[in-house]
Structures are given as C-alpha cells and as structure tokens.
Structure 1
Amino acid sequence: MPILPSGPLSYGMQLPVQSQSVIYAEPWEATATPADLVGVARAADHGGFAYIAGCDHVAIPLRLADGMSTVWYDPVATLSYLAGVTGRVLLMSHVAVVGLRHPLVTAKQYATLD
C-alpha cells in the first residue's frame, strides 16, 4: 500500500509566457509582456498557490522548433525577476537541462535564487 503524504493540500502552476510551446501555450502568450508575467505570478502568490514553475530549454533543435516553439525564457533569470515581485509563493524550475549548463554556475545561480 502506498504511503500518502500528510498535511494540507497544496497546488502550483507552470508559468505561462515563460515557455511558449505550441503544444500548450495560449494565443495571448505570443504578445504577452513581462508585466503580464508579473500579473500571473502575483495572482498565484495572492491566490495561495504553493509554487510557480518555469521550464528550461537552452536551445530547441530545428527539427522540433515548429512543435515546441523557440520562446523559452531562462528559468533562473525569470524566477529571480519574479522573486522581487512576489512574497510567499515558492519558485521552481520543473525542467533543468543540466547537461548543457556548467554545474558550478548552475549551482551558484539556484543558490542565489534560493
């Protein structure tokens, strides 16, 4: 029998705008601004979300560009920006392509964000 976590239910969300894969992005995201992203983050923060998350892709291979889009904001920079405009919501990158990043630089970036 699996052990279920105890405690209150928490929920979070993947940020829109930050990664605009055509698989899941909504049409409004193509013209969204940083202010729109801030508005979403603040709404999640005030709405009681446990976390907001970004996605990491350093580069999209040309053969996948039509399906994935090539708009993928850097997660550490984006989350650092949102840390300055939110208060309690946790910040995370639920995908980190560590094989394409220097491990010491990546560790320093996430430690600084933390």
Structure 2
Amino acid sequence: MAPNQHDLERIRQQIVLANIQELIQKMTRRCFDVCIAMPGLELRSTEHDCLANCMDRFMDSVQVVSCQYFRRRRRHQQIRLARSSASIASPPATASIPKSTSIPKSPATSASEHAPSASNEEKVK
C-alpha cells in the first residue's frame, strides 16, 4: 500500500473511532439523564434495568437511522450513475448527422453558429 493510502486508511480509522466515542458519550448522557434520578454510590436494580433498556433502544435507533441513510445514499448514487450512463449512451441529435453531409453556409451565417457547442462536445465524450 502506498504511503498516501496508508495515511488515508489511518485517517478513516480515526474518524470511525471518533464517531464511536461520540455515540457512546451521547448514549451515556441521554440514558443517565433519563434513568438516574438521584445518583448514589450504587445503581438500584430499576436504574440498572432502565440503563440497559435505554442503551439497547439507543443502539437500535442508531442502527435503523444508519441503515436508512446508507440505503438512500446508495439509491441516489445509482440514480446518478444511471443518468450519466444514459447521457453517454444517447448522444445529442447533432451528433447523428453523417460526416459526409455538409451544412451550407450563407454569407449572413458565421462559422461559429455551425460549430457544436461545448456542452454538446462534452456529452459526446
């Protein structure tokens, strides 16, 4: 792996770690606020059960949101890919003129009016 790839992978891992730490902090803060009314030296069984349930529901919620996010992201990427493939597969109408056919020029028409526009050239590529 090239050094640049190694650096990118390390950065990705650090981002994942930071996201996990943030998730744990949010879950801890939220569940503590909901389940612990009066902090003491030990957790009561009701607080323990509440915390376990709260953390499970929090993680379930994160999983549902993440799955939905990635599903939508994948769908949007597929739509973009289909659109770009369609534009490449169907060239503009001006590209279908046979090369042997010449367009007659009148004295009032400049050569630039018959030249394909930049956007048409890009679509053909």
Task: Give TM class, smaller chain.
Answer: under 0.3
The structure with the largest helix share of the pair is: 2
Q: TM-score, normalised by structure 2?
A: 0.22
Per chain length, whose mean CA-contact separation is higher, i.e. which structure has more relative contact order (CA < 8 Å, sep 6+)?
1
Higher strand share: 1
**What TM-score do you get using the length of structure 1 for normalisation?**
0.24
